[in-house]
């Protein structure tokens, strides 16, 4: 119980606090570098029926999915199910998609997806695929931008917390993966071990993985590089002169295993690891490296059969830098760097010095010079550490507090997010001086300029991906969507154009000119190319077949009925497989399938596709199923019944659509 | 017939070859649900969707009003018409070689009669599809029939159907015109 006196004291204490808050939060809207609001409105106005100029592909963070927005309007176009089950379509519930989420830990229904990265040709996004990492149970997914569906997921063995992933090399030869949380690894097999956590310094290791991308996009882990047990944070491949290299930031070079917020923030400098992936790949191709057992799954859509398959891969090749000198060097970089970004020319490597007062910019040319001169200030576990003063090009002063990530506009400027000072800072790649800054609301993590991490950025818009939303929109209780801000960067001064909420927690994002992706779009799947073994191509072939306790219903949908729509002879204790083929051959005519009492989800079946839902009836009676997607004027009539008899009943299997 | 006339007549006959590769009639449909439109192309030997799947989708829509599905294999005219045009081409070429003006006149009259018969036949098919509806259709509007126009546009519920001659039809007209020109310019046959 508080006394009156205490209350009074509290009140007095709060006055200076209110004054401080008042000053810091003073008149937010009026201080925003907002283009004249009608001007801004015009710039983001995409008339009804018109299309946006860019696709924005935003990671869903803890939603595990990838969300698609139109830019500059901020329209939410679609959410691509990737690492999380999606009852909305049956992804991860249907028999055809369940294998996509298979891992050596079993079926994993969720993950934390951070960094989308478009495939590139000649250092420019080409619109074929977008890759995205799973941070929690280490995996990488490939999404086909022809149909906006996840086409492949590969598990990363010998890793924990796949954060520095999946960044592409200039011709999508490789994408990266890495260990965020180092873990104990057996010296020979790299297998995780049952050891004391306090033996971190002795036993814990990390790996940097290079995933090879085949002609059709198929992924395979070409090699892993064994590295000291730091936390590897982010990555970007080089381009132009640096295109044979990939860069990874690290923190926790202190090798702390508890209270990292303090214990991993002590060193003045951590490292950016520069990996000569070309050389490493050549070594592996020449038989260097050690093949070790490392079971991991590769799950992929068999495009012929329209369904996912899982393949267990037994081994992986490991390169030890101590045995293969010249593949990796450490660039000292101030204070737990977060992002590592390479400018469009490929000459500069920008580290996000999260806890640093300056933004360090390394020179690739100087790095090569230092390597040639063996200008090392030491080594860590056999990895040479280059001399900081020899590789640094500039330290950008006054670049904000808590600098995280940098993107480029292709016109000689870089844009860096500052989390703590909640702003984006524009600086020159010539003078390395700040030329403009703009507040964001609030605390940006990543930022995205379409093509902004490629050789050819489209320096028109910038999207700030903010971590804190607070008062930006109508409140929705304690949990708020994250906020994105669209900023016009076409002029000298950055101008805030638009504010929009985003689904999940977007970390990184990618943007690409809409035309490149639009022309690849699939509208429906030709029925004659559907080679799913359980597909039925016409109503005449629909049937119900009992195989012991399993009952297979081969069913079709077309506006506005199911065939068959009356099914009898099912018994309690059966496992019923509804194999539903959508006979439609028309754009945007999916049919849904929902079965009362099914303990999974619905099916949303695209035209020409076959999807399978299982149902294990628990009760006797007659139960309806129906179409969940408002397909036609007679959608409400699109329904059917299943009669469930007691176990052992003599009601025979029968089915049909009447006479 | 002079030499030029014979050549022109040969061209007139050969032009009819186009009807084997281009449609003679088209029906375009617009509806709110089909912003890009769907349509049918009617050739002498087949009926196809403008896009590959259009015919299936048109039949899908038509089943709601009880219209019979348009199945090209059940329309005998599509089997007869190639022979008719084949005959016109061969006989036309024969007349070009022979140069007989009276035969040319018969050819032209036959062509015109066949064309009229074709249009009447097309109208009758349209009438049949538009009027003989399944009494159990989901959508029944008293007094409403769904015959597409022979030529021009008509609003049928949510669909605006536009029926127009296709390239093959115009080529046929040109062929007919050229033949008539040859007939008109040539002197009467001498015995």
Q: How far, in Å, are A102, A188, A254, B122 from residue B149 at the CA level? A: 58, 81, 82, 10
Tell whether B21 is within 8 A of chain A (Cβ). Answer: no
Nearest chain A residue to B62 by CA distance is A559
Answer whether B60 sits within 8 Å of A633, measured CB to CB. no
Residue A417 domain flag: yes
Provide DSSP, A577-588: EEEEEE---STT
Nearest chain B residue to A585 by CA distance is B53
SS3 category, A63:
coil
Q: Which of A14-23, A367-376, B59-68, B178-187 has the lowest average pLDDT?
A: A14-23
pLDDT per position as a tens digit, A108-161: 999 999 999 999 999 999 999 999 999 999 999 999 999 999 999 999 999 999
Question: Can you give the pLDDT at residue A658?
Answer: 82
Average pLDDT estimate for A365-391: 97
- The answer to whether residue A47 scores a pLDDT higher than 90 is yes
* A586, A632, A633: residue with CB nearest B53: A586
Residue A446 domain flag: yes
Q: Give the β-pairing of A183-184 and A204-213.
A: antiparallel
Answer whether B60 sits within 8 Å of A559, measured CB to CB. yes
Binned at pLDDT 50, 70 and 90, residue A524 comes out as very high
Residues 70-129 of B with CB under 8 A from A: none
Residue A133: CATH number of its domain = 2.130.10.10
Residue A585, min C-alpha distance to chain B (Å)? 6
User: Which chain A residues are Cβ-neighbours of B52 within 8 angstroms?
Assistant: 585
Answer whether B57 sits within 8 Å of A633, measured CB to CB. no
Q: Which of A32-41, A42-51, A338-347, A446-455 has the lowest average pLDDT?
A: A32-41
User: Which chain A residues are Cβ-neighbours of B64 within 8 angstroms?
Assistant: 632-634
Binned at pLDDT 50, 70 and 90, residue A7 comes out as low
Tell whether B138 is within 8 A of chain A (Cβ). Answer: yes
Tell whether B64 is within 8 A of chain A (Cβ). Answer: yes
C-alpha span between A303 and A129 (Å, rounded): 15
Instruction: Spell out the domain ranges in chain B.
Output: 3-185
Residue A2 domain flag: no
Nearest chain A residue to B61 by CA distance is A559
User: Which chain A residues are Cβ-neighbours of B53 within 8 angstroms?
Assistant: 524, 585-586
Answer whether B53 sits within 8 Å of A634, measured CB to CB. no
Question: Can you give the pLDDT at residue A622?
Answer: 98
User: Which chain B residues are Cβ-neighbours of A634 within 8 angstroms?
Assistant: 64, 138
C-alpha span between A551 and A645 (Å, rounded): 13
Tell whether B60 is within 8 A of chain A (Cβ). Answer: yes
Residue A78 domain flag: yes
Question: Can you give the pLDDT at residue A16?
Answer: 53
User: Which chain B residues are Cβ-neighbours of A584 within 8 angstroms?
Assistant: 60
* B57, B64, B138: residue with CB nearest A586: B57
Residue A482 domain flag: yes
| Cβ neighbours for A209, distance < 8 A, ≥ 6 positions apart | A156, A158, A159, A165, A176, A177, A178, A221, A223, A224, A225
- The answer to whether residue A11 scores a pLDDT higher than 60 is no
Mean pLDDT of chain B: 93
Q: Considering the entire predicted model, what is its pTM?
A: 0.91
C-alpha span between A167 and A319 (Å, rounded): 20
Binned at pLDDT 50, 70 and 90, residue B191 comes out as low
Answer whether A559 sits within 8 Å of B138, measured CB to CB. no
| Cβ neighbours for B157, distance < 8 A, ≥ 6 positions apart | B65, B139, B141, B144, B146
Buried b / exposed e over A164-177, threshold 16 CB at 10 Å, is bbbbbbbebbbbbb
Same domain, A573 and A457: no
Binned at pLDDT 50, 70 and 90, residue B59 comes out as very high
> Can you give the length of chain B in residues?
191
Tell whether B53 is within 8 A of chain A (Cβ). Answer: yes
Residue A33 domain flag: no
CATH code 1.10.760 for B3-185: no
- The answer to whether residue B40 scores a pLDDT higher than 50 is yes
Sign of CA dihedral B41, B47, B52, B53: positive
C-alpha span between A137 and A258 (Å, rounded): 21
Answer whether B138 sits within 8 Å of A634, measured CB to CB. yes
User: Which chain B residues are Cβ-neighbours of A558 within 8 angstroms?
Assistant: 60
Question: Can you give the pLDDT at residue A354?
Answer: 86
Nearest chain B residue to A526 by CA distance is B53
Domain total in chain A: 2
User: Which chain A residues are Cβ-neighbours of B139 within 8 angstroms?
Assistant: 633
Residue to test with chain B: of A586, A636, A658, most B Cβ within 10 A: A586
User: Which chain A residues are Cβ-neighbours of B56 within 8 angstroms?
Assistant: 585-586
Mean pLDDT of chain A: 94
Residue A352 domain flag: yes
- The answer to whether residue A28 scores a pLDDT higher than 60 is no
Here the tokens at position A375 are 């200008």
Q: Under a CB-based contact definition with an 8 Å cutoff, are residues B9 and B182 in contact?
A: yes
Question: Can you give the pLDDT at residue A528?
Answer: 95
Nearest chain A residue to B158 by CA distance is A633
- The answer to whether residue A220 scores a pLDDT higher than 80 is yes
C-alpha span between A143 and A349 (Å, rounded): 28
User: Which chain B residues are Cβ-neighbours of A633 within 8 angstroms?
Assistant: 64, 138-139
Answer whether A586 sits within 8 Å of B138, measured CB to CB. no
User: Which chain A residues are Cβ-neighbours of B138 within 8 angstroms?
Assistant: 633-634, 637
Residue to test with chain B: of A585, A587, A606, most B Cβ within 10 A: A585
Q: Under a CB-based contact definition with an 8 Å cutoff, are residues A174 and A121 in contact?
A: no
Answer whether A584 sits within 8 Å of B60, measured CB to CB. yes
Residue B30, min C-alpha distance to chain A (Å)? 15
Same domain, A510 and A554: no
Question: Can you give the pLDDT at residue B190?
Answer: 65
With vertex at residue A549, the alpha carbon angle to CA A577 and CA A578, rounded to the nearest 5 degrees, is 10
Same domain, A461 and A563: no
Q: How far, in Å, are A186, A205, A256, A272, A558 from residue A202 at the CA level? A: 11, 9, 12, 22, 63
User: Which chain B residues are Cβ-neighbours of A563 within 8 angstroms?
Assistant: none
| Cβ neighbours for A196, distance < 8 A, ≥ 6 positions apart | none
- The answer to whether residue A22 scores a pLDDT higher than 70 is no
Same domain, A628 and A574: yes
Residue A613 domain flag: yes
Q: Which of A492, A518, A544 is the last residue of a domain?
A: A518
Q: How far apart are the first and last CA of chain A?
A: 79
* B60, B138, B139: residue with CB nearest A558: B60
Buried b / exposed e over A469-484, threshold 16 CB at 10 Å, is beebeeeeeeebbbbb
Q: Rounded to the nearest 5°, which phi and psi values hold at B183?
A: -60, -45
pLDDT per position as a tens digit, A221-246: 999 999 999 999 999 999 999 999 99
Q: Rounded to the nearest 5°, which phi and psi values hold at A559?
A: -55, 120
| Cβ neighbours for B56, distance < 8 A, ≥ 6 positions apart | A585, A586, B49
Containing structural domain, residue A647: 533-656
- The answer to whether residue A8 scores a pLDDT higher than 60 is no
pLDDT per position as a tens digit, A561-596: 999 999 999 999 999 999 999 999 999 999 999 999
Q: How many CB pairs under 8 A join A and B?
A: 19
Same domain, A339 and A429: yes
Same domain, A474 and A539: no
Question: Can you give the pLDDT at residue A332?
Answer: 96
Q: Under a CB-based contact definition with an 8 Å cutoff, are residues B104 and B183 in contact?
A: yes
Q: Under a CB-based contact definition with an 8 Å cutoff, are residues B89 and B16 in contact?
A: yes
Q: Rounded to the nearest 5°, which phi and psi values hold at A477?
A: 75, -155
């Amino acid at each position: 119980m508080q006394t009156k006196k205490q209350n009074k004291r509290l009140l007095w204490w709060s006055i200076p606090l209110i004054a401080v808050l008042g000053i810091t939060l003073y008149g937010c809207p009026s201080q925003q570098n907002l283009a004249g609001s009608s001007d801004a409105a015009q710039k983001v106005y995409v008339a009804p029926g018109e299309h946006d100029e860019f696709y924005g592909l935003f990671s869903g963070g803890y939603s595990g999915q990838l969300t698609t927005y139109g830019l500059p309007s901020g329209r939410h176009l679609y959410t691509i199910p990737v690492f999380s089950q999606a009852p909305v379509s049956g992804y991860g519930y249907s028999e055809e998609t369940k294998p996509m989420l298979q891992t050596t830990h079993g079926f994993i229904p969720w993950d934390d997806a951070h960094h989308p990265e478009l495939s590139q040709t000649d250092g420019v996004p080409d619109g074929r695929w977008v890759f995205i990492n799973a941070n929690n149970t280490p995996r990488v997914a490939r999404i086909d931008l022809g149909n906006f569906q996840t086409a492949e997921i590969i598990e990363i063995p010998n890793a924990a917390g796949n954060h520095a992933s999946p960044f592409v090399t200039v011709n999508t030869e490789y994408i990266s993966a890495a260990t965020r949380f180092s873990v104990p690894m057996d010296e020979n097999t790299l297998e995780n071990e049952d050891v004391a956590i306090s033996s971190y310094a002795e036993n814990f290791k990390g790996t940097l993985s290079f995933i090879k991308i085949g002609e059709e996009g198929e992924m395979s882990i070409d090699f892993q590089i064994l590295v000291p047990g730091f936390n590897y944070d982010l990555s970007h491949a080089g381009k132009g002169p640096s295109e044979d290299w990939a860069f990874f930031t690290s923190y926790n070079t202190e090798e702390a295993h508890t209270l990292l917020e303090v214990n991993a923030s002590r060193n003045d400098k951590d490292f950016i690891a520069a990996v000569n992936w070309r050389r490493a790949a050549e070594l592996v191709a020449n038989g260097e490296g050690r093949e070790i057992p490392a079971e991991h799954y590769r799950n992929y859509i068999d495009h012929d059969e329209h369904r996912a398959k899982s393949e267990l891969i037994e081994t992986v090749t490991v390169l030890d830098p101590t045995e293969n000198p010249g593949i990796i060097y450490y660039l000292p970089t101030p204070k737990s760097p977060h992002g590592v970004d390479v400018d469009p020319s490929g000459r500069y490597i920008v580290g996000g010095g999260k806890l640093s007062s300056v933004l360090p910019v390394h020179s690739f040319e100087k790095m090569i010079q230092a390597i040639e001169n063996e200008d090392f200030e030491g080594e860590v576990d056999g990895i040479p550490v280059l001399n900081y003063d020899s590789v640094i090009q500039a330290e950008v002063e006054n670049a904000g507090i808590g600098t995280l990530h940098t993107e480029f506009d292709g016109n000689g400027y870089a844009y860096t997010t500052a989390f703590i000072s909640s702003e984006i800072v524009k600086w020159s790649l010539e003078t390395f001086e700040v030329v403009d800054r703009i507040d964001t609301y609030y605390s940006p993590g990543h930022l995205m300029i379409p093509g902004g991490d490629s050789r050819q950025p489209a320096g028109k818009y910038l999207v700030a991906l903010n971590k804190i939303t607070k008062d930006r929109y109508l409140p929705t209780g304690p949990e708020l969507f994250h906020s994105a801000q669209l900023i016009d960067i076409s002029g000298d001064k950055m101008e805030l154009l638009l504010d929009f909420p985003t689904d999940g927690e977007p970390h990184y994002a990618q943007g690409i000119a809409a035309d490149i992706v639009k022309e690849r779009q699939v509208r429906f799947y030709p029925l004659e190319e559907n080679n799913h073994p359980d597909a039925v191509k016409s109503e005449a072939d629909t049937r119900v077949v009992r195989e012991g306790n399993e009952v297979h219903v081969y069913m079709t949908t077309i506006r506005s009925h199911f065939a068959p729509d009356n099914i009898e002879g099912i018994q309690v204790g059966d496992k019923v497989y509804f194999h539903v083929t959508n006979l439609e051959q028309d754009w945007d005519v999916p049919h849904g399938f929902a079965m009362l009492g099914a303990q999974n989800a619905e099916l949303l079946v695209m035209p020409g596709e076959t999807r399978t839902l299982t149902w294990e009836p628990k009760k006797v009676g007659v139960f309806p199923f129906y179409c969940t997607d408002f397909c036609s004027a007679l959608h409400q009539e699109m329904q059917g019944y299943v009669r469930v008899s007691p176990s052992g009943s003599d009601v025979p299997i029968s089915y049909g659509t009447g006479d | 017939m002079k030499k030029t006339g014979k050549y022109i007549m040969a061209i007139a006959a050969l032009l009819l070859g186009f009807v084997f590769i281009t449609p003679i009639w088209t029906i375009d449909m617009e509806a709110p649900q089909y912003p890009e439109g769907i349509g049918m192309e009617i050739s002498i030997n087949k009926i196809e969707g403008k896009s590959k799947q259009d015919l299936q989708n048109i039949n899908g829509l038509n089943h709601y009003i009880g219209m019979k599905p348009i199945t090209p294999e059940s329309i005998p005219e599509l089997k007869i018409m190639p022979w008719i045009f084949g005959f016109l081409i061969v006989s036309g070429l024969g007349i070009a070689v022979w140069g007989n003006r009276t035969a040319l006149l018969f050819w032209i009259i036959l062509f015109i009669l066949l064309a009229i018969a074709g249009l009447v036949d097309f109208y009758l098919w349209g009438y049949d599809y538009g009027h003989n509806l399944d009494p159990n259709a989901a959508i029944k509007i008293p007094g409403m029939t769904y015959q597409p126009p022979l030529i021009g546009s008509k609003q049928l519920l949510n669909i605006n159907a536009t029926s127009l001659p296709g390239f093959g039809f115009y080529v046929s007209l040109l062929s007919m015109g050229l033949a008539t020109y040859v007939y008109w310019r040539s002197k009467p046959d001498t015995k």
